[in-house]
């Protein structure tokens, strides 16, 4: 399955979040081809600024960890703070997270493990529209391929844990249960990057354009002229291949081979460099527009993202203000996670927000650029 290929034509929103039913394994597709979460991660990995924005949000969601976050919560030796780290990352990307729960036989939670959010699919709703189970697999994107033959896991069914409805009885199931957190019950969430999927791809294209210019020495092409006595096209192609081998495959389209008469005056300059069009202004304006859309979408401050205008002064007070803003921006998410941990019986306390200390800056201000 070509995950990014589905976006080549700017896949409409209704197709990205469609939920066709799989009547064999009894689950709802997450997107028209069931690869929406995988597509999100692939697109996110293309855009460095989007990735940085998501990482910043996740950092402020988890803050300095739970007050008593060193508590070990599973037989893998993971602490509550380890789980919080994974939760915050998924929450920042997908607006949701999933946990696998096991009980001690009496109904109390004895073990919590994080499940990557992209591994989970909702089961089919019952006649009342309620969804009571999920399917978990690490290879939804490879269902119809042999890409990972040794790591394929068939979808495993788990009941969904709901503290109010399931209680003690539900947690005594042998396989455990899955806690599935999303903004709207029984619905797949939209990713935080969804509104700017095309913009994130543009960010990647701009990076490749910049790399191409650097690789090509900021030249659009070079014309290699050689004395020819009616050489065949095959001979010209052989010359071009040798030149490309010297310059590298990434520049294979940057050389034009032209045969000229031996007596021609053009042979005095065998290599002619053709300068690229002066697109500096267009590139700068486009890059600025793309960055603005990404930062606006994620609602992250420019200072913490390192996007201040060149030569501007960023004071300690401004940095402190941006810390305050990000803590407020992520407060509801922290409160939600704290409530869920309490419902699961974990005595981990509150999440300690990130604190700004003026000692983090060498002096009262710093200059960018």
Task: Quick: pLDDT tens for 134-146.
Answer: 999 998 866 544 3
Q: Dihedral through CA 49, CA 54, CA 59, CA 61, nearest 10?
A: 150
Q: With 0-12 CB in 10 A as exposed, 13-18 as middle and 19+ as buried, what is 80?
A: buried
CB distance 305 to 56 below 8 Å: yes
Q: Which residues, in sequence order, are bridge partners of residue 275?
A: 219
pLDDT number for residue 359: 55
Alpha carbon distance, N-terminus to C-terminus of the chain:
43
d(CA 135, CA 249): 44
- The residue among 263 and 36 whose pLDDT is bigger is 36
pTM: 0.76
Q: Which residue in 68, 73, 148, 60 sits closest to 109, CA to CA?
A: 73
CA angle 336, 109, 82 (to 5 degrees): 60
- Beta strand extents in the chain (DSSP E only): 21-22, 27-28, 97-103, 109-115, 120-122, 133-136, 156-160, 177-181, 219-228, 255-261, 271-275, 313-315, 365-367
**What does the block give as tokens for 335?**
């409160």
Q: Facing residues of 122 across strands?
A: 134
In this model, does residue 6 exceed pLDDT 60? Answer: no
Contact of 222 with 252, CB cutoff 8 Å? no
The residue behind tokens 């509150």 is 350
Is 192 in contact with 158 (CB distance < 8 Å)? Answer: no
Q: What percent of the chain has pLDDT over 70?
A: 64
pLDDT at 328 over 90: yes
Q: What pLDDT shows up at residue 291?
A: 85
Q: What is the pLDDT of residue 10?
A: 54
The C-alpha atoms of residue 69 and residue 89 are separated, in whole angstroms, by: 17
What confidence category does residue 241 fall into, taking pLDDT thresholds of 50, 70 and 90?
A: low
**Per-residue CA distances from 277 to 211, 219, 280 (Å):** 16, 9, 9
Residue 46: which of 317, 294, 345, 226 has the closest Cα? 294
pLDDT-wise least confident of 91-100, 162-171, 186-195, 352-361: 162-171
Q: How many CA atoms lie within 13 A of 191 on its CB side?
A: 29
Question: 59: which residues sit within 8 A by CB, 6+ positions away?
Answer: 88, 354
Q: How many CB atoms lie within 10 A of CB 271?
A: 11
CA-CA distances (angstroms) from residue 352 to 7, 11, 68, 69, 233?
39, 40, 10, 10, 70
Asked whether the beta carbons of 128 and 93 are under 8 A apart, the reply is no
Strand-pair category, 156-160 with 27-28: unpaired
pLDDT digits (tens, 9 = 90+) for 89-117: 999 999 999 999 987 766 678 899 999 99
Residues 6 or more apart in contact with residue 38 via CB below 8 angstroms: 3, 118, 140, 141
- Residue 369's SS3 state is coil
Mean pLDDT of 254-283: 56
User: Which DSSP string do the residues of 244-275 spell out, in sequence order?
Assistant: HHHH-GGGTTSEEEEEEETT-GGGG-SEEEEE
């Amino acid at each position: 399955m070509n995950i990014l290929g589905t976006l080549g034509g700017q896949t409409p929103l209704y197709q990205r979040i469609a939920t066709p039913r799989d009547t064999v394994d009894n689950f709802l597709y997450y997107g028209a081809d069931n690869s929406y979460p995988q597509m999100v991660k692939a697109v996110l990995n293309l855009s460095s600024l989007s990735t940085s924005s998501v990482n910043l949000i996740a950092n402020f969601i988890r803050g300095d960890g739970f007050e008593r976050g060193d508590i070990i919560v599973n037989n893998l030796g993971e602490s509550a703070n380890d789980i919080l780290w994974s939760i915050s990352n998924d929450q920042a990307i997908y607006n949701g997270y999933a946990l696998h729960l096991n009980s001690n036989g009496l109904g109390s939670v004895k073990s919590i493990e994080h499940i990557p959010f992209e591994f989970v699919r909702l089961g089919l709703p019952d006649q009342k529209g309620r969804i009571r189970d999920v399917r978990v697999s690490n290879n939804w994107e490879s269902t119809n391929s042999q890409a990972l033959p040794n790591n394929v896991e068939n979808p495993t069914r788990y009941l969904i844990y709901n503290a109010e409805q399931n209680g003690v009885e539900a947690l005594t199931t042998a396989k455990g249960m899955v806690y599935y957190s999303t903004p709207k019950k029984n619905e797949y969430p939209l990713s935080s990057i969804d509104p700017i999927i095309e913009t994130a791809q543009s960010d990647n294209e701009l990076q490749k354009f910049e790399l191409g210019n650097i690789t090509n020495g900021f030249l659009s092409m070079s014309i290699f002229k050689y004395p020819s006595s009616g050489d065949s096209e095959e001979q010209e192609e052989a010359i071009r291949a040798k030149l490309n081998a010297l310059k590298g495959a990434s520049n294979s389209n940057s050389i034009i081979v032209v045969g000229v008469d031996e007596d021609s005056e053009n042979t005095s300059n065998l290599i002619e460099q053709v300068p690229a069009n002066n697109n500096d202004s267009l590139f700068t304006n486009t890059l600025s527009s793309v960055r603005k859309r990404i930062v606006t979408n994620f609602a992250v401050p420019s200072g913490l993202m390192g996007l201040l205008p060149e030569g501007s002064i960023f004071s300690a007070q401004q940095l402190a203000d941006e810390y305050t803003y990000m803590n407020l921006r992520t407060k509801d998410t922290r409160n939600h996670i704290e409530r869920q941990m309490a419902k699961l019986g974990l005595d981990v306390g509150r999440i300690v927000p990130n604190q700004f200390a003026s000692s983090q800056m060498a002096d009262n201000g710093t200059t960018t650029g």
